[in-house]
Amino acid sequence: MRKIFILLIFISSSFLSFTQTFTEFQYPKIFEINKLYPRSNIIPDHDFYKISLNGIWKFNFVQNIYDRPLDFFKIDFNDQNWIDFQVPANWELNGYGMPIYVNVPNEFDNSKFPQVPDSMNSVGSYRKQFEIPIEWENNNVFINFGAVKSCFYLWINGQFVGYSEDSKTNAEFDITHYVKYGEENTIALQIMRWSDGSYFECQDFWRISGIERDIVLYATPSTYISDYHLTALLDDQYKNGILNLNCDISSSNISENSNYKLEYFIEIPVDSVKNRFESVRTYHYSKDVTISKSKTTFSFDKQIFENIPVWSAETPTLCTLYINLIDNQGELVQQIKKQFGFRSVEMKNGLLLVNGKPIKFKGVNRHEHDPITGHVISRESMEKDVILMKECNINGVRTAHYPNDPYFYELCDKYGLYVIDEANAESHAQGYGDNSVAKKPEFIDATVARIRNMYERDKNHTCVIMWSLGNESGNGICYHKAYDWLKAKEATRPVHYERAEFEYNTDVYSVMYPDVEYIAEYAQTKREKPLIMCEYAHAMGNSCGGLSDYWDTINRYPQLQGGFIWDWVDQSFIQYDEKGTKWFAYGGDFGHPTNIRPSDKNFLINGLITSERTPNPHYFETQRVYQPITIKAIDLEKGIFEITNNLDFTNLKDAFEIFYNINAYNEKNYYYTSGNSFCIDVEPGKSKLFTINKPNCSPPYDIYFKTLVNIDKNGSELIYNRSITHSGLQFSNNQASFYVYPPQKETQISFNNKIKINTKLKKSNLIIISGDNRFIFDTLKGQLISLVVKGQEILQKPLTLNFWRAPTDNDKADGKGKRAWDQASLNQLTWKVVDLSYKTTDSLFILHLFLNGLNPLGETVFEVIQSYSITNSDDLFIENHIKTSNLVKTVAKVGLQMGLSKDFAYAKWFGLDTESYSDRYKSGLIGWHSFPIENLFFKYVRPQESGNRAKTQKLYLESNKTNIFIQFLESDFNFSIYPYTDQNIDTSKHINKLVENDYWTFNLDYKQAGIGGATCGPGARYMYLLDDPEYQFTVHLNTKEEWSDTQMLFNSKNYFPYPAHWIFKSDQNTLNQNIKSIKFKNIPHPKYSKNYQNALYDNKLAVCGDYQENWLGFQGDTMDITINLSNYDKINSLKFNFCHDPNSWVFAPQTIYYQTSNDGINYTDIVNLNNAFDPENASNIYIQLQSIVIPTNNAPFLRIIAVPIKMLPKWHSNPGEKAWIMIDEILIIK
User: What residues are annotated to the active site?
Assistant: 472, 535
Query: What's the rounded Cα separation, in Å, for the pair 107 and 99?
Result: 10
CB 251 within 8 A of CB 140: no
**Within 13 A of 1016's CA, how many CA atoms are on the CB side?**
22
Distance of CA 519 to the CA centre of its chain: 19
Query: What's the rounded Cα separation, in Å, for the pair 1024 and 1018?
Result: 12
Q: Is 502 exposed, middle or buried (0-12, 13-18, 19+ CB in 10 A)?
A: exposed
Query: At residue 486, what is the residue type?
Result: L
Overall residue count recorded for the chain in this entry = 1230
Query: Which of these, 336, 126, 355, 375, lies nearest to 242 by C-alpha position?
Result: 355
Task: Give Rg (Cα) of the chain.
Answer: 35
CB 736 within 8 A of CB 696: no
Query: What's the rounded Cα separation, in Å, for the pair 327 and 329?
Result: 5
Query: Which of these, 544, 540, 1031, 1010, lies nearest to 805 by C-alpha position?
Result: 1010
Query: What's the rounded Cα separation, in Å, for the pair 539 and 34?
Result: 43
Please calculate the CA angle 745-747-750 and round it to the nearest 5 degrees. 140
CB 1001 within 8 A of CB 981: yes
Question: Which residues, other chains included, contact 1161 with Cβ-Cβ below 8 Å and sequence gap of 6+?
Answer: none
Query: Which of these, 705, 719, 730, 724, lies nearest to 655 by C-alpha position?
Result: 719
Residue 424: DSSP 8-state: S
The DSSP bridge partners found for residue 768 are 759, 775
Cα→Cα distances 586→107, 567, 990, Å:
15, 16, 9
Q: Which long-range contacts (CB under 8 A, 24 or more apart) does 112-118 make?
A: 113/199, 113/430, 113/435, 114/27, 114/28, 114/196, 114/199, 114/440, 114/442, 114/443, 115/26, 115/196, 116/25, 116/26, 116/194, 116/195, 116/196, 116/198, 116/199, 117/194, 118/64, 118/65, 118/66
Cα→Cα distances 227→34, 37, 40, 262, 460, Å:
18, 10, 6, 13, 10
Q: Which helix (DSSP H) or strand (DSSP E) does residue 3 occupy?
A: helix 2-14
The DSSP bridge partners found for residue 726 are none
Q: What are phi and psi of 86, to 5 degrees?
A: -75, 140
Q: Which helix (DSSP H) or strand (DSSP E) does residue 482 occupy?
A: helix 477-489
Query: Which of these, 417, 484, 490, lies nearest to 459 by C-alpha position?
Result: 490
Q: Is 1092 exposed, middle or buried (0-12, 13-18, 19+ CB in 10 A)?
A: middle
Question: Which residues, other chains included, contact 1066 with Cβ-Cβ below 8 Å and sequence gap of 6+?
Answer: none
CB 1088 within 8 A of CB 1111: yes
CB 341 within 8 A of CB 350: no
Beta strands in 1126-1210 (DSSP E): 1133-1140, 1151-1157, 1167-1169, 1184-1191, 1197-1203
Residue 923: DSSP 8-state: T
Query: Which of these, 534, 485, 488, 490, lies nearest to 509 by C-alpha position?
Result: 534
Q: Which helix (DSSP H) or strand (DSSP E) does residue 708 occupy?
A: strand 701-709
